[in-house]
Amino acid sequence: MADLTSSSAGERLAEARRQTNAAARRRRWQLLSPAIIIIAAFGIFPLTITLIYSFLSPGTYGGVRWEFSTNAYVQFLFDRDIFDDTLQFSATYLSIFGRSIGLAFGATVGALLIGFPTAYFIASKPANQRNLWLFLITLPFWVNLLIRTYAILLIIRDEGIVNISLMWTGLIDQPIGMLYTDYAIFAGLIYSYLPFMVLPLYASLEKLDFRLVEAAYDLYASRFQVLRHVIVPMAKPGIVAGCILVFIPALGAYITPELLGGGKELMIGNLIALQFGGSRNWPFGSAAALILLVVVMVSLIVYVRYSGKEGSNHG
């Protein structure tokens, strides 16, 4: 060993490092392979099928005919005149998308407004009580969404408990038509996805260093100022995650608008379902699903970029 020059020792070290690096890379791939298989089988494969279908022609009794066509995408924005084949701009489907985005956005904001105080309440409980509260929050989720939505339907319909008790107390003499309105969908969406808001919010609020809150109080911040300048900025990761987790499923919601909107107030989810069912237009259904996917992805990227930037502006 003594006659080795330092440079050859260095080379041997580098060689050894290269070898361990290669081994580490191999190991990483081995560890990742189950995940890659799952992503391929359940993500990429169905997506590819959807993409292919969206460029085919509809079969008469459902399914597709293997004929290339961009009709599905054209149909999304334009009406084809049945007589002279000219295209006319039509906002029908666009407005369904708009409505859906509006409802999903409203539901996200609503869930945030209700979920934030809830999560804060739980996080401020003694540690040994928090799990009980979280359990209570997630408890309704043990029941099927369909059943829970039917329960809302029964409560708010004209002969439901709300209208009956209001009429019994004499506050109203006609039932309030709550069912089959946008408000019903809105309330249903908030109710359905609230835990997706509460849980990530709780996770970030629970980590909140309460000493920072005390420091802010000490530095003349009122309760509202503490909320605005300390708690909300610190809970930002939870807010971002919660909003994403509510917005995405709310945007594609199917059961809630179907039952509480009575099927006449369409959301994207219902539109897509309809194409694969009654309308027998699989390519258009596939195209609508892909457009939804793109809308979600783009809004996600914009949202994460924007909220990330705002966070670093503070710092």
Q: Which residues are near another protein by CB under 8 A?
A: 209, 211-212, 214-222, 225, 229-230, 233-234, 311, 314-315
User: Is 223 or 305 the residue whose CB approaches another protein more closely?
Assistant: 223
Q: Which residues 6+ apart lie within 8 Å of 252 measured at CB?
A: 268, 269, 272, 292
Dihedral-angle region of residue 67 (phi above 0 means left; psi in -120 to 50 means alpha; beta otherwise): beta
Cα-Cα-Cα-Cα dihedral sign, residues 218, 223, 229, 231: positive
Q: Which residues 6+ apart lie within 8 Å of 162 measured at CB?
A: 155, 156, 176, 178
Cβ at position 217, least distance to another protein in Å: 4
Helix (H) or strand (E) holding 24: helix 6-39
Cβ at position 213, least distance to another protein in Å: 9
Cβ at position 125, least distance to another protein in Å: 17
- Distances in Å between the Cα of 122 and the Cα atoms of 137, 182, 210, 312 are 10, 31, 14, 28
Cβ at position 314, least distance to another protein in Å: 5
User: Is 138 or 222 the residue whose CB approaches another protein more closely?
Assistant: 222
User: Is 106 or 233 the residue whose CB approaches another protein more closely?
Assistant: 233
User: Is 278 or 315 the residue whose CB approaches another protein more closely?
Assistant: 315
User: Is 221 or 293 the residue whose CB approaches another protein more closely?
Assistant: 221
User: Is 216 or 253 the residue whose CB approaches another protein more closely?
Assistant: 216
Cβ at position 225, least distance to another protein in Å: 5
User: Is 81 or 209 the residue whose CB approaches another protein more closely?
Assistant: 209
Q: Dihedral angle at the C-alpha atoms of 212, 215, 217, 222, nearest 10 degrees?
A: -60
CA–CA gap between residue 198 and residue 302 (Å, rounded):
23
User: Is 19 or 225 the residue whose CB approaches another protein more closely?
Assistant: 225
CB 166 within 8 A of CB 172: yes
Residue with tokens 């006659």: 3
Cβ at position 121, least distance to another protein in Å: 20
User: 125-128: long-range contacts at Cβ-Cβ below 8 A with a sequence spacing of 24 or more?
Assistant: none
Structure tokens belonging to residue 288: 């609508």
Cβ at position 25, least distance to another protein in Å: 32
CB 268 within 8 A of CB 281: no
Cβ at position 175, least distance to another protein in Å: 47
CB 118 within 8 A of CB 137: yes
CA–CA gap between residue 256 and residue 201 (Å, rounded):
24
